[in-house]
Structure 1
Amino acid sequence: MKTFSKSQEELIKVRPNAENGLWLGLLLPIAIISSYIKYSNESSSLYRSCFLFTLVNKRYFIFPTVAVSCIFHIFNHGTFLCCYSGILSSIGFYTIYMFSLRKCPWSFTLGEALFCAQGFTIFLYSTLINLYNAIYSPLKTDLQISTIVIQVGILSVAVICYLAHTYDSLQKAFAFYIMSVIIVIFVLLLPLHLLLKQSPVLWIFGLLTKDINTLLMFAYWILCSSCATYAVSIQIKVAKKASTVIRKSFHILAVLVFLPGLLFECTFIYLASGVALGIFIILELLRNLNIPPLGTSLQDGFMVFSDEKDVGNVALTPMYLLVGCAIPLWVHPIPCDVTNSAMFNILPLISGLLSVGIGDTMASYVGKSFGKHKWAGSNKTIEGTVACMLSQFLTVYLLFKLGYYNLQQNDVIRISVAVITVALVEAKTTQVDNIVLPLLMYSILL
């Protein structure tokens, strides 16, 4: 980690009452490297490039830029890709990292900002390479098309956020919506139409209506989303701070949304998770800038559902929950099989659901309701940690009994190590559980 100068330290305000968490910077690289090592034959050339890219996006010096370029040259990736990879992995990463810490005071620990900067840098890298490849090689599978739709969509959202925060004149409602429409047309829809050689809206509609099972799954997700929206509106009306148990109920809702999707509509849940992230970011932008008609309502929701970690100017908890559930799906090189299911390798892909949706939720509920014995130096209870372990073991056993997972004898040790490690980290860490636990469990279960 590059040492901050005194002037830089004065501009950086990290989230209080938490350790620096610099070890989080290892989680995403380890997850990608582990995935590549296990699935090296099945990984695409882009994924192999991302594997190399994650090894070296750590510093802001000329030497790392040259070093990365040389590594990519050795692997015959071409001069343009060598230079692009070297510059983005060093200068680009550092710029994004410092931007996050300066523009979002008290929102991150150093480690959390490190994770977000790594993720966004890898996203930019893979997006530009994917766009370049899509121009010359037609996209063939639904998963490939979904990936490019997600990437261009999130890139469009990033452009909207950047412009809205850079130019005060665009923070007024009329100007903001006009700017957003222009970005959607010329940065999102038009490029996708040229790349796909068809309307992206019609393609998504075709994916949605291709069979009755997809329609039923979509209707089920709409029902779950409606329940969540209704619960938030009720909490706002009573104007009462939501308890930890109420907040954790959204974790269970995330499990109810993601698990059926992974089992039966893998490609669609993959696409939907990316679209949902874009929507969450836009909603947070509307709240942050108080843009009508949703700005005030979103702020009211934030006030009743925020927790002790939401002390900065950005509400990250909802996005962290979504990212925690979806990141195994995004990181895995081949998440969906030919039957459009994730059952062939379900455990790594439900790492977020197991650790955050089930384990963390049960730890919180049991710890708050029945916990009496606290861990040294922590507010977490031993009873909550035990509940975290048992609930995850029980979930895996139920998947096995229902026929969704073929449990082998050698899997027992791996699952036990993953569950116990996650439970202990949940009990002791001061970092955001929703991003720490899924990647930790994913790397062990892979």
Structure 2
Amino acid sequence: MKTVIPQQNPVKRTNTKGISDVGNGPPSRDIVSRPIASPGHWLCMLLPLAFASNLLQNNRCNEEITTQFTLTIAAIGMCVESLCFFLYMFYKTSLLLKLVVAFVPGLFTTLLYKVLLQLSWSYGLFLGFVTTFCYQNTYIRVMRGFPGSFSLGEAAVLVQGLMLFLFNTMLKVPNIVNATKVRSDFEQLNVIMMCALSYLFAVCWLLAVANVFRMKIYFYILMLLLAIGVTCTPITKPIPIIALLKFIRKDEVRIKIIMFYVALVALTVVIVWWRTQSQGKASTRVRKLFHLLIVIVYVPGLLYQCDFLYIASGVALALITFFELVRICNIPPLDVHLRNAFASFSDEKDAGVFALTPFCLLIGCSLPLWISPCPCYQDNTSSYTNRIVPLFSGILTIGFGDTAASVIGSKFGRIKWSIIYKCIKFITDSKKSLEGTLAFVLATLSSILCLNCFGFTNLTLFKSFVIAVATIATALVEANTDQIDNLTLPIIFYTIVNII
């Protein structure tokens, strides 16, 4: 297995392309988590809790509740697999106990499939062990292939998300291959995005296992084939590229939004170019400009063009992945410019070869939209207004809350949480301030009140209480965790407010 690692890592033997051979020894061998960060074991429970909270919602669309239960059980199985793996890594146990622990996740997942979905034992065993085995194998390869890029918990969230996406795609294969089926606009876009991202992940796998595709000519040929496959595979009627053009032309507002998005992309390029001309790292306030830009993109999209934002978020993820592949694989002519941009805008959380922060910014803002069942269901206005706050989880916590906390905390923060905890005999090395946390709470709650004042949501006393609890809990996590907050905060907030 050929995997990408940072060239500056002195432990690995790298060639001119920054590629290293990783052995097939024990699972804990060659696993290096992100420095200056705790393991973050608790993160492995976030996605299972988020999917479980979806089950509390009424089934407002044609999506079968069985699919939601299946994905939730798979997420729980991956969580149990993560906990057992951490036990295997950090505690010395007998060989017999390790063998028992190795079978626990698969058996536990099988039992859930049997009890909750009434599957046969044979089918349940197959799903249970395939799910947990594929997850663990992928998790280990990601940690070995990108040493120092993720904490153990961050990698767990990202790999769980990847495996759940692929699992969901496989469950919907009959619907995908039936190109003649009459679908709504959102169902059509969902099919296109699932297939496109599946192709993209297949390309990433090819680049990981075959050196030849990292050569310039073969890399661009592979990308050309990817573009042709994404736009011309007959999974919709008409083919995806024609279906997308027809969807855009249905509404003149979408054409204006595309022009607006192109202008924002141009502004982003100008900001990056301007910053790379200066020496040294970009400050926290400069990096938060990207938070404001993504707020400008997502707020009108979620309120007025949910379907279009859904497919646009998938396109954005594909583009970021493409540029990251160009940078990591040193593909000219853009590789030098991308490395300069990474050097300028990276922070302490971008410790490995992988640019974690920009990926997690996009994923964190989009994840509520991706994991919510039928997020763009607007046939019933009251049902959609009830879902606005959960769908805004990423924007509220990252775009408003975290941005306010960083700006206010860095400029006016005087009372540090480490001092507060010291007074109650609790040791912490948090550098965040109380002022920043209060700014997080005020910015988030003020944004929700604005949504309510303009009629985009309908707050009751119970809803207000739950939102306040979610905001305070998320703010406290932001102030005291060393995990990447772009990834963790939206899931925490989404899980809590999803019960209303």
TM range (shorter): over 0.9
Structure-1 separation of matches of 2:280 and 2:122: 55
Q: Distance in 1 between matches of 2:406 and 2:380?
A: 34
1:248-259 equivalent positions in 2, closer than 5 A? 248-259=288-299
Distance in 2, matches of 1:406 and 1:139, equals: 33
User: 2-side partners of 1:167 and 1:157: how far apart?
Assistant: 15
| Aligned equivalent of 1:374 | 416
Map 1:321-340 onto structure 2 (within 5 A).
Answer: 321-338=361-378
Question: What are the ranges of 5 or more consecutive residues in structure 2 without an aligned counterpart?
Answer: 1-23, 86-101, 419-428
Contact 2:33/2:148, CA 8 A, preserved across alignment: yes
Deviation, 1:125, is 0.4
Shift of the 312–301 alpha-carbon distance from structure 1 to 2, 3 Å rule, reads same
1:394 aligns with 2:446: yes
Aligned residue in 2 for 1:32: 51
C-alpha displacement at 1:77, in angstroms? 5.7
2:356 and 2:380 map into 1 onto residues whose CA distance is 31
Aligned to 2:160: 118
Q: For 1:16, which of 16, 35, 43 is the aligned residue?
A: 35
* Alpha carbons of structure 1 residues 313 and 400: separation in structure 2 relative to 1, 3 Å: same
Instruction: Flag the 1:206–1:80 CA change in 2: closer, same or farther, 3 A.
Output: farther
Tell me the equivalent position of 1:150. Answer: 193
TM-score (norm 1): 0.92
1:417-446 CA-partner distances (Å, limit 9, x unpaired): 011111111000000001110000001111
Larger Rg: 2
Tell me what 1:348 maps to. Answer: 390
> Residues 381, 218 of structure 1: CA spacing in aligned structure 2 closer, same or farther, 3 A cutoff?
same
Would you say 1:415 and 2:467 are equivalent positions?
yes
Q: Kindly report which structure 2 residues correspond to 1:19-168, keeping only aligned pairs within 5 A, or say none.
A: 19-40=38-59, 42=61, 43-44=63-64, 45-57=66-78, 58-59=80-81, 61-62=102-103, 64-65=105-106, 67-69=108-110, 71-72=112-113, 75=117, 82=124, 85-136=127-178, 138=181, 140-168=183-211
Segment drifting more, 230-239 vs 175-184: 175-184
Q: 1:169-217 CA deviation, whole Å, 9 max, x = no partner?
A: 221111111122234435x345x41x21321011111111111122122
Match of residue 257, structure 2, among 208, 211, 217 = 217
> Does the 8 Å contact 1:352/1:437 carry over to 2?
yes
CA–CA distance in structure 2, aligned partners of residues 346 and 282 of structure 1: 31
Which position in structure 1 is the counterpart of 2:493? 441
Contact 2:365 2:393 in 1 (8 A): yes
The corresponding residue for 2:277 is 237
Higher helix share: 1
Could you tell me how far 1:357 is from its partner in structure 2? Answer: 0.7
CA distances 1:1-25 after superposition (whole Å, capped 9, x unpaired): xxxx994333111001111111001
Secondary structure of 2:56's partner?
A: helix
- Which of residues 242, 246, 250 is equivalent to 1:202? 242
Amino acid at match of 1:356: I
SS at structure 1 position matched to 2:417? coil
Structure 1 runs, 4 residues or longer, greater than 6 Å off: 78-81
Aligned counterparts, 1:180-199, within 5 A: 180-186=223-229, 188-190=230-232, 192-193=233-234, 195-199=235-239
- Which residue type is aligned with residue 209 of structure 2? T
Tell whether 2:486 aligns with 1:425.
Answer: no
Contact 2:60 2:374 in 1 (8 A): no
Q: 1:104 to 1:397 in 2, by over 3 A?
A: same
Structure 1 residue aligned with 2:97: none
**Residue 358 in 1 paired to residue 394 in 2?**
no
Matches of 1:336 and 1:196, distance apart in 2: 19
Separation of aligned partners in 1, 2:377 and 2:187? 13
Query: Alignment partner of 1:421: what SS?
Result: helix
3-state SS, counterpart of residue 39 of structure 2: coil
Give, in whole Å, the separation in 2 of the partners of 1:151 and 1:260: 24
Report the CA distance shift for 1:136/1:72 in structure 2 as closer, same or farther (over 3 A). Answer: farther
CA deviation after TM superposition for structure 1 residue 239, in Å: 3.6
Q: TM-score if structure 2 supplies the norm length?
A: 0.83
**Mean Cα displacement is larger for which, 5-14 or 177-186?**
5-14
1:174 to 217, 224, 235: 217
| Aligned-partner SS, 2:463 | helix
Task: State the Cα distance separating 1:80 from its structure 2 match.
Answer: 9.1
Q: Is the 8 A contact 1:422 1:440 kept in 2?
A: yes
Do the aligned partners of 1:88 and 1:121 also contact (CA within 8 Å) in 2?
Answer: no
CA RMSD of aligned residues (A): 2.3
Identity value in percent: 32
Residue 87 of structure 1: CA displacement?
3.5
SS of 1:238's equivalent in the other structure is coil
Q: Residue type of the partner of 1:158?
A: F
1:206-240 deviations in Å (ceiling 9; x for gaps): 11111112212222222222211211111112244
1:297/1:340 CA distance change after superposition, 3 Å = farther
Aligned partners of 1:265 and 1:340 also within 8 Å? no
SS at structure 2 position matched to 1:282: helix
* Pair 29,389 (structure 1): closer, same or farther in 2 beyond 3 Å: same
Cα gap change, 1:366/1:97 in structure 2, threshold over 3 Å: closer, same or farther? same
Distance 1:47 1:35 in 2: 8
Change (3 A) 1:252 1:235: same
**Of 433, 437, 452, which residue of structure 2 is paired with 1:385?**
437
Checking the alignment, whether the CA contact within 8 Å between 1:73 and 1:82 is kept in structure 2 is yes
1:145 Cα offset (Å):
1.9
In structure 2, C-alpha distance between the alignment counterparts of 1:320 and 1:360, rounded to whole Å: 13
- Correspondence for 2:11: none
The alignment covers a number of residue pairs equal to: 439
- Note the alpha carbon deviations across 1:301-342, whole angstroms, 9 max, x for none: 101000010010111111100010010111111211235985
**Cα 1:217–1:77 shift into 2, 3 Å:** farther
Q: 1:424 to 1:167 in 2, by over 3 A?
A: same
Are 1:291 and 2:331 an aligned pair? yes
CA distance in 2, matches of 1:49, 1:403: 35
Question: Where does 1:308-327 land on structure 2 (aligned, <5 Å)?
Answer: 308-327=348-367
Contact 2:237 2:243 in 1 (8 A): no
Aligned to 2:18: none
Q: Distance in 1 between matches of 2:186 and 2:125?
A: 28
